[in-house]
Structures are given as C-alpha cells and as structure tokens.
Amino acid sequence: MMDRSLIFAANWKMNLGPTEARRYAERFLSLTSPIKSRSLWFFPPAVSLGALCEATRGRADLRIGMQNVHWEPKGAFTGETSIPMAMEAGAGAILAGHSERRQLFGETDEYVARKTKAALNLGVTPLVCVGETLGERDGGRTESVIVRQLTPVVDALEPAEWNRVVLAYEPVWAIGTGKNATPDDAAQIHELIRMELGRNGVAVRVPILYGGSVNSGNVLSLLARPQLDGVLVGGASLDPEGWAELVGLS
C-alpha cells in the first residue's frame, strides 16, 4: 500500500525524562531499522532532547524536535527555549500551534506564525498544527477555524518556503479522547487545507499529518487515504514496543 513517503511523529508531551528517554531509545532502536520511505520524528520534553539525540545518533531516519520554542534567539523570556539553543542540543524540527499550547498556554495564531517563520529562517522544520474544537465542529465552523489558524502563517511565509513546512491536522476533540476522526473526515480536511494553501499561491504539495487518538488499530485505515502523509501521535507513542509496532505496520 505504502509506496509514498510517510512521517510518523511521536509527541511525548510532558512524559519521559532524560533517563527514560535513553532507555526508550535503546529499546526502540533495537526494534526498528531505517526504511527509505519512512521518517520517524520524536518530540520529547525539552529536558530530554539532548539525551534522546545522543542516544539515537547515527540513525538518519530519525529527527528529534522541540515541542515548543520562542521565536527570539535569546533574551529575557523566562521559561522559554530559543531555536538556536534547541539546534545546538540537536533539534531538527519544532512543533508550532499544538492545540494544548493554544488552549492551555495562550499560543495565538500570531505566535504560531512567528515561530514558524523563525524556524524556517534558522533551518529547522516547522510542524504546524491546526484543528477545531468540538464546539467549533458542531457549530459548523471547522473550515473557518482552520482558515483563521492558517492565515497568519500564510501571510508570514513566502510561497517557496512552504516546501520546508509540514502541517498536522489535529482535531481537538480527537486528542487523547480515544475518538479519532474517520479516514473520510481527515481526508476531507486535508483537502480543504491544501485548497486553502493553493488559493494563497502555495504551489508545492505540503505534507499533512493527521493526529488525534491514532493507534495500531486505526493507523492503517487512516494512512490508506492518499491525502494523509503520516501521523502525529501522543499516547500511543509513549512505549517503545507499541510505537515500534505502529510504525512497522505500514
């Protein structure tokens, strides 16, 4: 089925400290081998990033990224990590606009655009997340919410920069709830996102991952849709055996 290139991204959220990350890496590496058509991305907590990078050195199919960064290179921003610092520790990607950052920590559409632009300027890949809440979906506002979330990013980027961006569609109602979007729903929103980018002069085909309660039982039916270029996974990525199994299914 999978003759295309897929991204399997693990977002560990606030789980797995440096010691656990090293242990995870050892086990995961022993269970997987590089496959040309598959990239494996990990977003550990910031304090575990260095340990995970060291423990996975030499595996070119792996990319390690930050769950959150600031767009400024340095300064008086207590609690934040800059992109150059993250790169020095081994980061090759960043998440921007994860719904938990948006909902719990006040990350605005504007911040998401700044982080995305800063990542591109510095040469790390931004993985930009969009998605609607249940209320927005029930109110028929999915499309307008996604367009609203995308607009500042579209405005900040040159059309050509989009060939270095990855997007994730993560409906908030599907995150950590065990209720994933159906493959049809996900495919439809991915198309909507692509249409919106096209309308704004983005000619490249931007990879779009789906996230929200992905597990070994539903990943194949989701990835059977050509509109999906991979998955962004929280809970099901936290144990190395389960994650190795999931990324091996395709």
Q: Which residues are catalytic, by number?
A: 98, 170
User: Rounded CA gap, 146 and 132, in Å?
Assistant: 7
User: Rounded CA gap, 210 and 232, in Å?
Assistant: 6
Burial environment of residue 238 by CB neighbours within 10 A (0 to 12, 13 to 18, 19 or more): middle
**Please, what is the angle between helix 142-156 and helix 183-199, to 10°?**
40
User: Rounded CA gap, 218 and 231, in Å?
Assistant: 11
Based on the shown chain and the rule CB under 6 A, indicate whether residue 232 belongs to the binding site for ligand 13P: yes
Task: Please select the residue that binds ligand 13P; options are 107, 132, 136, 170, rule is CB under 6 A.
Answer: 170
User: Rounded CA gap, 198 and 159, in Å?
Assistant: 10
Based on the shown chain and the rule CB under 6 A, indicate whether residue 176 belongs to the binding site for ligand 13P: yes
Based on the shown chain and the rule CB under 6 A, indicate whether residue 123 belongs to the binding site for ligand 13P: no
Based on the shown chain and the rule CB under 6 A, indicate whether residue 233 belongs to the binding site for ligand 13P: yes
Span interacting with ligand 13P, options 53-61, 101-109, 139-147, 234-242, rule CB under 6 A = 234-242
**Amino acid present at 88:** E
Based on the shown chain and the rule CB under 6 A, indicate whether residue 234 belongs to the binding site for ligand 13P: yes
Question: Which 3 state secondary structure label does DSSP give 39?
Answer: strand
Rg (CA), the chain: 17
Based on the shown chain and the rule CB under 6 A, indicate whether residue 84 belongs to the binding site for ligand 13P: no
Give least dist CB 168 to ligand 13P, A. Answer: 7
Give least dist CB 160 to ligand 13P, A. Answer: 27
Q: Write the CB contacts of 220 (distance below 8 Å, at least 6 apart in sequence).
A: 1, 249, 250
Give least dist CB 211 to ligand 13P, A. Answer: 4
Q: Nearest Cα to 39, choosing from 90, 4, 78, 77?
A: 4
Q: Binding pattern to ligand 13P, positions 137-166, x when CB under 6 A?
A: ------------------------------
Task: Please select the residue that binds ligand 13P; options are 97, 171, 212, 240, rule is CB under 6 A.
Answer: 212
Task: Please select the residue that binds ligand 13P; options are 32, 48, 56, 213, rule is CB under 6 A.
Answer: 213
Based on the shown chain and the rule CB under 6 A, indicate whether residue 217 belongs to the binding site for ligand 13P: no
Q: Binding pattern to ligand 13P, positions 85-114, x when CB under 6 A?
A: -------------x----------------
Q: Nearest Cα to 56, choosing from 72, 67, 70, 42?
A: 42
User: Rounded CA gap, 102 and 109, in Å?
Assistant: 8
Give least dist CB 84 to ligand 13P, A. Answer: 24
Chain positions contacting ligand 13P, by CB under 6 A: 11, 98, 170, 175-176, 211-214, 232-236
